[in-house]
Structure 1
Amino acid sequence: MHIDTNKFSWFQVPEDVKKLLILAAQNWENTSASEQYIQQALAQTGGNTDVLVAAYRFFYYKNNYSLALQTTFQLLDKIKETENFPDDWEQLQPILVNRREELPIRLYLNAYAAAGLVLAKLGEIERAKEISTRVKAIDDKHDFGAGILLDVLTRPAEEDDE
């Protein structure tokens, strides 16, 4: 089978990894086969951020929230390591605020907001609220959706009028 990886020229990964990701997409209906392709791509790239994002999306849309969350934290750790971020949120927050328009920081904030969403789906509401509150405080343009998630998580339950 010929797989045209040129149509994904913007995706900066080796050709064999592109082929694995394309095979995962082509085998979407066969979850076990497509997941094997995703796992192989992850194993071959050693934490390439593009592949981690693709894997997160795959797991999220396959409703495999635990692997989506694991992949999101791998992505966050990769960016944290590359950008030499401090562990403490109080030290990290001003860095994120000052650099929020830079691509790696935007990716970090998107991934962090995504972690909040997945945590909410997994029923870990307090952790989801904490993350959403943190991202919302940085997100002056409402780019990352954290404010919407926080609103949903903190909105009082509507009462029936019956």
Structure 2
Amino acid sequence: MDLMDFDKAGLYFDEPVAAGVQDLIAEAGGVYGQAAAEALLHKAYFLAPESLVVLVALYRYYFYQHRLEDALLVGERALGIVGRRLGFPDEWSRLHPDFLGQAVLRSMGLLRFYMSVLKATGYINLRLGRMAQGQALIEKLVELDSHDRFGGRAMLEMIVAAVADRIEEAA
């Protein structure tokens, strides 16, 4: 299975979103950098708490504002929502490659979204200095992505090298 096969795959932004919610996101983009932007995104979230478009908008806002803790919360929420839609276990750590076949039948686009969020939450954990958690998330990505379409192997190699350097420095 090629996780980058985009033929006939619906993407998160193809999902219908109420016009009012889409307007709030657009308005937030227009006032980006001002306090009103976050309030508009929160309003969109309260109107559509499981909308992936809203979650991506919130995630990007927090990430680009360097509010990594908040971005991580949104990423974890997205993993839960998409995981439920794909029939995955509640805990990403219990996920294994056998789940992917059924997920592809449900939605290749959602599966790719899930994998991207898995990588993003791993990266944010690393940025926050939570090396064990970040490494575990990237290891899960590598386990699930046998063809390395999401570039998890290179990240994992860098993590392992960084940990080895820290151990060497401490010795």
What is the 5 A alignment of 1:11-50? 12-30=16-34, 32-50=35-53
Q: Report which structure shows greater RCO (CA 8 Å, sep ≥6).
A: 2
Tell me the amino acid that sits aligned with residue 64 of structure 2: Y
Of 116, 123, 128, the residue aligned with 2:129 is 123
The match for 1:136 is 142
For residue 86 of structure 1, give the secondary structure of its aligned residue in structure 2. Answer: coil
The match for 1:149 is 155
The match for 2:7 is none
Q: Contact conserved, 2:125 with 2:134, CA < 8 A, in 1? A: yes
Determine whether 1:102 maps to 2:108: yes
Q: Which runs of 5+ in 1 are unaligned?
A: 1-8
The match for 1:76 is 79
Tell me the amino acid that sits aligned with residue 19 of structure 1: D
TM-score norm. by structure 1 comes to 0.80
TM-score norm. by structure 2 comes to 0.76
Q: Contact conserved, 1:136 with 1:147, CA < 8 A, in 2? A: yes
RMSD: 2.5
- The count of corresponding residues between Structure 1 and Structure 2 is 150
Please report how far the alpha carbon of residue 11 of structure 1 lies from its aligned counterpart in structure 2 after TM superposition: 6.1
Taking the aligned partners of 2:135 and 2:89, their CA distance within structure 1 comes to: 22
Please report how far the alpha carbon of residue 143 of structure 1 lies from its aligned counterpart in structure 2 after TM superposition: 2.6
Please report how far the alpha carbon of residue 75 of structure 1 lies from its aligned counterpart in structure 2 after TM superposition: 0.7
Q: Percent identity?
A: 23
Q: Contact conserved, 2:84 with 2:90, CA < 8 A, in 1? A: no
Runs of 4+ with >4 A deviation: 88-91
Q: Contact conserved, 2:93 with 2:140, CA < 8 A, in 1? A: no
Please report how far the alpha carbon of residue 142 of structure 1 lies from its aligned counterpart in structure 2 after TM superposition: 2.5
For residue 148 of structure 2, give the secondary structure of its aligned residue in structure 1. Answer: coil
Please report how far the alpha carbon of residue 91 of structure 1 lies from its aligned counterpart in structure 2 after TM superposition: 5.5
Taking the aligned partners of 2:120 and 2:98, their CA distance within structure 1 comes to: 20
Taking the aligned partners of 1:11 and 1:124, their CA distance within structure 2 comes to: 33
Q: Contact conserved, 2:88 with 2:99, CA < 8 A, in 1? A: no
